[in-house]
Structure 1
Amino acid sequence: MPSRSRVRPSRGCTTASASCRASGAERDVIPVVLESARVRLDVPTRADTAAIVAGCQDPDVARWTTVPQPYGAEHARSFVDALVGPGWASDREYTWAVRRSGSALLEGVIGYRTERRDVGFWLAPSARGAGLAHEALELVVAWAFEQGAPDVAWECYEGNTASAAVARAAGFSFTGNGPAVNPGRDGGPTPAWHARRRADGTAASDLSWPSASFAHSVP
């Protein structure tokens, strides 16, 4: 069974199953560690800089996300210091590193934003095709439901069939086409596929997934 810690950002370490980071932008953060038999999700740190840079330089990550291009170490450090730490501390956005169980290597990132109740993720090429994104998504969605979220939203730019396959396998209902909530790298609207999964298990829509989204499958 997956292992989850239900904790909130706090001024002190009062939860035995969590640990505090004591310096820099991560002080006062109690990270939530989510685990399954094959995947461990924990908080990215500056020690992950090289892996974050390598992942964000991948052409597919560049194509389907809004990470800066070209992507360098300064971007990775800013991501950790200005987004990850403050996101946890403010209770606005929770960001996890995706690692294989027993490995310290960051092979992806997954995040959940509390106001929009939406989730997004990317994986490095080394982690693709093994079902790791599916497991990571299931862990985060289950945790969000434990916190009381009635549903979780997902979106990807139209044509990102790999991400769509992961969302579909995780039980998300396709809710339609429309502009992405997150604008493109140029700041303009980008056509996107949208989906949602409800905590009560009912379908969020009776729409069918686009036929193009079946180009990938999840092992």
Structure 2
Amino acid sequence: MQPFVLESSRVRLEVPRTADTVAIHEACQDPELQRFTTVPVPYTFEDAQYFVSQTVERSWLTGREYIWGLREQGSSLCLGIVSIRLLHHDIGFWSAPEARGRGLMTEAVRLVTDWAFSEGLSDVKWEGYVGNRASAGVARRAGFTYTGTGPGLQPDRERRHPACWQARLLPGDDTSTKPGWPLETLPGADAP
């Protein structure tokens, strides 16, 4: 499939390009991003170049995965990556540290899930390593329903399937925040 743009009044999702290599490399130096994703560690500039020139291009060409760079409207700076893998209907994403806590990724996830449902996907799944409260917060605010903890669909760097929090969104679901998420994913939540 040919790459296409998804956008709202706040964010623009478009294919990562060569000019994004520096921003992607810098973001992937973040210890939290490295802890909760499968990016290589250490993450070199060559890794970022390969991701943009090979991984992204191949994913769109084969149609197995669609990968977008997250930008604020009116800015060319890539602030994160969001993708959907079509085999399992699973969504993945990361944000650069300076983009976190502003609702940009939640809006990006909503754009991708809306598009996926308009294309006929029966559901969209999210998973994050147990303890990844930021990612869980995005999924929760995007309307996903927490379904439990289990082995991850995607292998980690050691090719294992670590314990992941899991959630699902169906077409027509109410996308308001739903109860049932692990207490520790809720910002400001007090222990009972």
TM-score, normalised by the number of residues in structure 1: 0.81
Structure-2 residue corresponding to 1:188: 160
* Structure 1: runs of 5+ lacking an equivalent: 1-8, 10-29
After superposing on structure 2, the runs of 4+ consecutive aligned residues of structure 1 that deviate more than 3 Å are none
* Structure 2: runs of 5+ lacking an equivalent: none
Q: Displacement of 1:189 after TM fit?
A: 2.5
Alignment deviations for residues 87-112 of structure 1 (CA, whole Å, 9 cap, x no partner) = 11111100000001000000100000
Q: How does 1:98-177 map to 2 (within 5 A)?
A: 98-177=70-149
Q: Displacement of 1:82 after TM fit?
A: 2.1
**Alpha-carbon distance in 2 for matches of 1:39, 1:138:** 11
CA root-mean-square deviation = 1.7
Q: How does 1:1-219 map to 2 (within 5 A)?
A: 9=1, 30-201=2-173, 208-215=180-187
Percent sequence identity over matched residues? 48
Q: Displacement of 1:210 after TM fit?
A: 1.0
Q: Displacement of 1:208 after TM fit?
A: 1.7
| Maintained 8 Å contact 1:62/1:69 | yes
Q: How many residues align?
A: 187
| Maintained 8 Å contact 2:143/2:174 | no
AA aligned to 1:73 is F
Distance 1:76 1:103, change over 3 A: same
**Alpha-carbon distance in 2 for matches of 1:49, 1:194:** 30
TM-score, normalised by the number of residues in structure 2: 0.93
Alignment deviations for residues 52-105 of structure 1 (CA, whole Å, 9 cap, x no partner) = 101111111101001001111110111122211111111110000000100000
Larger Rg, first or second structure (1 or 2): 1
